Amino acid sequence: METAMTSDTSPLRRTLCSRDNALRVARRMTDDGIPTVVVASNEPLQPWCIVEFDAADHPEIRACA
């Protein structure tokens, strides 16, 4: 679900707002010991949001993983 950016958006903004960038940042946070999930949003300037997440607080989700 890649959100389309408008044509007047700069290349840097498109890179920073990309799903790939969100996954890269989330991976680095996870490597640093911060559990994260990446969720889609309806915000054009932040279509992907990284949220800190502790699966221990949600055993039903951890059981599905």
pLDDT in tens, 8-47: 789 999 999 999 999 999 999 999 999 999 999 998 888 9
Domain ranges of the chain: 11-64
In this prediction, residue 65 carries a pLDDT of 40
pLDDT greater than 50 at residue 54: yes
The size of the chain, in residues, is 65
CA–CA separation, 53 vs 62, rounded Å? 11
In this prediction, residue 53 carries a pLDDT of 82
CB 49 within 8 A of CB 39: yes
In this prediction, residue 1 carries a pLDDT of 47
Instruction: Give the residue carrying structure tokens 């903004």.
Output: 13
Instruction: Give the residue carrying structure tokens 């992907």.
Output: 48
Instruction: Give the global pTM.
Output: 0.70
Q: Which two tokens stand for residue 8?
A: 């007047």
In this prediction, residue 2 carries a pLDDT of 47
